[in-house]
């Protein structure tokens, strides 16, 4: 089973240590089950995501949380040192992303969209967008050899509408990956059981036991999922996915390699 898809490589460039799981955990878990080589990168160190834990301590905690989440599915998970909340799409970030894409040589890169509520998400999205063409230009970041061809680059789902709505080129029924996604997300305890409930005023509803917390987290995720399903109602209906319990959506970048029909099933297994 593990060698079934040998050669397929997935790189996720998220702004924060929990972005990959929350925005693309279903596709990541599906690829993991199929033996894809997966690398999850948090571009920032996550130092700002808490109301009580001090930033330097939080970096250590979140680095370990991300590592544990990756380990659950056999993925390599790394956290870079750019400061959480202070990320800019500058030349240093662009060069780091060019080097990462070249050295990992992914078939598929997942990242944010440049239209998003969080400035760090926007910065990563912009830097990946800027890197798409330059990964093939030898004199840029010349210490790492260029790739013979671009990977396919796709944005992870968001529901923002200005300046433009997310176009779901691929919709994925992730019902079978839901439990794995929740267990991965639960590794980010400082976020899903502390900071996010604090920020969203949900601490009162948070139970104590481990099993109860997993169920609570699944319900939290299903609330997000219901918003996705409402947002993409027309497309879900058109592609026969109205009954999917949980979904993800992906928008293919125009600046990297187009997703042709031959590669569609390999990169987005089961996608509609």
Q: Under the rule (CB under 5 A), what is the footprint of Zn ion?
A: 15-16, 19
What is the dihedral sign for C-alpha 30, 31, 33, 38?
Answer: negative
Pick 16 or 183: Cβ nearer Zn ion: 16
Angle between helices 178-186 and 210-231 (to 10 degrees): 120
Q: How far is the CB of 190 from Zn ion (least distance, A)?
A: 13
Q: b/e map of 149-171 (b: 16 or more CB within 10 Å)?
A: ebbbbbbbbbeeeeeeebebbbb
Q: How far is the CB of 241 from Zn ion (least distance, A)?
A: 26
Region of residue 219 (left: phi > 0; alpha: psi -120 to 50; beta: else): alpha
Q: How far is the CB of 46 from Zn ion (least distance, A)?
A: 9
Pick 125 or 135: Cβ nearer Zn ion: 125
Pick 8 or 13: Cβ nearer Zn ion: 13
Q: How far is the CB of 264 from Zn ion (least distance, A)?
A: 27
Pick 30 or 112: Cβ nearer Zn ion: 112
Pick 19 or 248: Cβ nearer Zn ion: 19
Q: What share of the chain is helix, strand, coil (3-state, %, to 5)?
A: 45, 15, 40
Burial of 240 (0-12, 13-18, 19+ CB in 10 A): exposed
Q: How far is the CB of 23 from Zn ion (least distance, A)?
A: 8
Q: Which residue is nearest to Zn ion (CB)?
A: 16
Pick 33 or 96: Cβ nearer Zn ion: 96
Q: How far is the CB of 229 from Zn ion (least distance, A)?
A: 22
Q: b/e map of 85-123 (b: 16 or more CB within 10 Å)?
A: bebebeeebbbbbbebbbebebbbbbbbbbbbeeebbbb
Q: Token pair of 269, please?
A: 């297994």
């Amino acid at each position: 089973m593990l060698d079934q898809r040998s050669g397929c490589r997935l790189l996720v460039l998220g702004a924060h240590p929990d972005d990959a799981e929350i925005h693309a955990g279903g596709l990541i878990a599906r690829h993991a089950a199929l033996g894809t080589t997966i690398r999850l990168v948090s571009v920032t160190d996550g130092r700002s995501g808490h109301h009580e834990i001090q930033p330097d301590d939080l970096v250590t905690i979140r680095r370990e949380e991300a590592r544990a989440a990756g380990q659950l599915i056999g993925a390599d998970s790394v956290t870079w040192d750019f400061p959480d909340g202070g990320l800019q799409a500058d030349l240093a970030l662009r060069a780091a992303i060019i080097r990462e894409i070249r050295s990992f040589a992914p078939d598929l890169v997942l990242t944010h969209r440049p239209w998003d509520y969080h400035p760090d998400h926007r910065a990563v999205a912009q830097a990946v967008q800027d890197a798409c063409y330059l990964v093939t230009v030898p004199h840029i970041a010349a210490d790492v050899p260029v790739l013979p061809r671009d990977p396919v680059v796709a944005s992870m789902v968001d529901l923002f509408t200005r300046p433009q709505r997310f176009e779901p080129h691929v919709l994925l029924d992730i019902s079978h990956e839901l439990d794995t996604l929740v267990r991965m997300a639960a590794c980010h305890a400082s976020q899903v059981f502390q900071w996010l409930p604090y920020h969203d005023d949900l601490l009162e509803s948070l139970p104590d036991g481990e099993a109860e917390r997993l169920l609570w987290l699944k319900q939290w995720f299903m609330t997000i999922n219901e918003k996705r399903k409402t947002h993409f109602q027309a497309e879900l209906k058109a592609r026969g996915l109205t009954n999917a319990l949980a979904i993800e959506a992906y928008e293919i970048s125009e600046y990297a390699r187009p997703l042709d029909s031959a590669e569609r099933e390999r990169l987005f297994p089961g996608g509609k």
